[in-house]
Amino acid sequence: MTTDVDKSKLAATKPKKKKKARPWYRTAVQIFFFTLVALITLNEALVELGRQTIPFLATASLHAICPFGGVVSIYEFVTAGRYAQKVHSSSFILMWAAFILAVGFGPLICGWVCPLGSFQQWIAKLGRKFQGKKYNHLIPAQVDRPLRYTRYLVLAVVIFFTASTRKLVFQDYDPYFALFNFWSSEIAWTALLILGVTIVASAWVERPWCKYLCPYGAVLGLFNLFRIFRIRREESTCINCKLCDRNCPMNITISTATAVKDHQCIACMNCTSEQFCPVADTVDFTTRRDAGTMPATESTSKEEV
């Protein structure tokens, strides 16, 4: 625990109103989307078996609700006016909806909607229980920082091979698709292997797939550079306790920034709650610019600071 906390500052800024909790509705949204995707997968299995399907999901498929299908089809659509194999027009619509959301609020899809992100987050609860404060702070910064850019390389490779083959090549490596179809012969062993490694790694590192490899997270992360609502820290009330840094699932250094522009922020809003920042209204999710902006914060994997 950091010791240079300014106690007089803390006393002066002590919250007088009820503590602002982490938004409960985020958990509700995550459970809703996880259940929806699970039901869609179940429905697809029922169709294959020729059984009675779930009425309101009659025509839904996992490919049709994946906005990343739209991203990998952009080249094919622009040059030939069609989508990559298995991609539907709904993926294109969802891709644009996700982009519009991201311009306003950042990668909400990553922090609130993506079932694979939620799944890793739920495993993290177990990791935290067994490892305490060491959880999610194990990889040295010198290794962690460059690794965070691997997802852009994955994105470039996926777009290149999808454009050159017109096939949904990413499916064979996609842990999200494998998570909901692990029993199916449609799933390649490579996707199962990546899913297995992601699950095991999540016991030590929060959201390892999102941080290091997810190509869709790479696309949405770029919106953090210019999104309208962002995480802002009020320097005058901050007591430098660094609880925000220690609890950020993406290891972002919030305690030295006035505005978070890190490409890894998933807009989870954890840092805006008083469970993570003890001083009321010091970290906010806002358009307010009077605190000024600092360059992008750096990701860190330091031990306790």
Q: Which is nearer to ligand SF4, 191 or 243 (CB)?
A: 243
What is the distance, to the nearest Å, from the Cα of residue 257 to the centroid of all Cα atoms in its chain? 20
Stretch that binds ligand SF4, among 129-137, 162-170, 206-214, 261-269 (CB under 6 A): 261-269
Dist. CA 117–CA 34, nearest whole Å:
10
Q: How far is the CB of 152 from ligand SF4 (least distance, A)?
A: 18
- 245 in Cβ contact with 253 (< 8 Å): yes
Cα(149)–Cα(162) distance, integer angstroms: 21
Give CA–CA dist 76/87, Å, rounded: 11
Under the criterion CB under 6 A, does residue 268 sit at the interface with ligand SF4?
yes
Site string for ligand SF4, 221-260 (x = CB under 6 A): ----------x-x----xxxxxxx---xxx-x-xx----x
CA gap 132, 169 in Å, rounded = 39
Answer for which of 136, 204, 267, 299 binds ligand SF4 (CB under 6 A) is 267
* Residue 266 engages ligand SF4 in binding (rule: CB under 6 A): yes
Look at phi and psi of residue 242 and say left if phi exceeds 0, alpha if psi is from -120 to 50, else beta.
left
Does residue 210 bind ligand SF4 (CB under 6 A)? no
Q: Give the pair of three-digit tokens for residue 24.
A: 């409960």
For residue 220, state whether it binds ligand SF4 (rule: CB under 6 A).
no
By CB under 6 A, residue 120 contacts ligand SF4: no
Q: Which two tokens stand for residue 253?
A: 């250094």
- Per the CB < 8 A criterion, the answer to whether 261 and 221 are in contact is no
Bridge partners, residue 219, by sequence? none
265 makes contact with ligand SF4 (CB under 6 A): yes
Please, which residues have CB within 8 angstroms of residue 279's CB and are 6 or more apart in sequence?
A: 10, 13, 14, 15, 237, 238, 239
Please identify, using beta-carbon distances, which residue of 38 and 225 lies nearer to ligand SF4.
225
Nearer to ligand SF4 by Cβ, of 94 and 250: the residue is 250
How many beta carbons lie within 10 A of that of residue 76, not counting itself?
17
For position 277 contacting ligand SF4 by CB under 6 A, the verdict is: yes
Q: Is residue 113 within the footprint of ligand SF4 (CB under 6 A)?
A: no
Closer CB to ligand SF4, 61 or 240, in the complex? 240
Question: Could you say which residues in the range 278-297 bind ligand SF4, by CB under 6 A?
Answer: 279, 282-283
Nearer to ligand SF4, 41 or 282 (CB): 282
Q: Least CB distance from residue 23 to ligand SF4, whole Å? A: 11
| Phi, psi torsion values for 65, nearest 5 degrees | -105, 15
Instruction: Give 215 or 249: the residue with its C-beta nearer to ligand SF4.
Output: 249
Total residues in contact with ligand SF4, by rule CB under 6 A: 27
Tokens of 116: 């694979």
Contact 249, 270 (CB under 8 A): yes
Does the CA dihedral 160-200-244-22 come out positive or negative? positive
- In the bound complex, what is the minimum distance in angstroms from residue 163's beta carbon to ligand SF4? 31
Contact positions vs ligand SF4 (CB under 6 A) = 231, 233, 238-244, 248-250, 252, 254-255, 260, 265-271, 277, 279, 282-283
